[in-house]
Structure 1
Amino acid sequence: MSHHEIYDSMQDNCADILTPTCPFCGQRGWITAPQTGADALMEGHPVQDVLPEVDPRLREQITSGIHPRCFPGAEFGDGIDPDLIHGH
């Protein structure tokens, strides 16, 4: 079984996946994904296999909670959000 929190989405044939807490900014997030992929994720299948159409940066967020904007220098990231630096 999966450790993911998945909820019904307002979008047809989609599910909202609550992502883990980001270790950089301390916030959780949501990713909206196709319902069939979310169902397979709940069954324990790897995210890269069941959601290949989802951007790799967002698949990383589903797995680790790391937001693409929060991971400086990562190949899947867009760099760190300047507001996060100035906010601390």
Structure 2
Amino acid sequence: MSRHAIYDSMQDHCADILTPACPFCGQKGWITIPQTAADALIAGHLVQDALPDLDVRLREQIISGTHPRCAPGAEFGDGIDPALIR
């Protein structure tokens, strides 16, 4: 069972995820993903396994709500350092 809010998308073969509120700005967000990835999330797969090709910052937004523009370091143009997440 998925803990993500996943909705039908207006784009063919896609789904929209409502992301949690960002801990920095308080706003929620939307990310459009392939329907196959949405099905994997609904089946309980981890975000990094369901969406391995999605930018690490967008995967973080799906998990924690942190927008790429709000992440520590974003004001300098570099967002989250992927080396810190591994």
TM range (shorter): 0.7 to 0.9
Alignment-derived partner of residue 2 in structure 2:
2
Which stretches of structure 1, 4 residues or longer, exceed 6 Å deviation after superposition? none
Query: In 1, Cα distance between the equivalents of 2:35 and 2:54?
Result: 12
Are 2:23 and 1:17 equivalent residues in the alignment?
no
Gaps of 5+ in 2: 74-79
Give the alignment of 1:38-77 within 5 angstroms: 38-73=38-73, 74-76=80-82
Q: Which amino acid aligns with 2:59?
A: R
TM-score (norm 1): 0.82
1:3-23 C-alpha deviation (Å, 9 max, x unpaired): 100000011100000000000
Q: How far is 1:29 from its partner? A: 0.2
Q: Percent identity?
A: 74
Query: In 1, Cα distance between the equivalents of 2:30 and 2:16?
Result: 6
The DSSP-based 3-state class of the residue aligned with 1:16 is strand
CA-based RMSD? 1.0
When structure 1 is superposed on structure 2, of 46-55 and 30-39 the one drifting more is 46-55
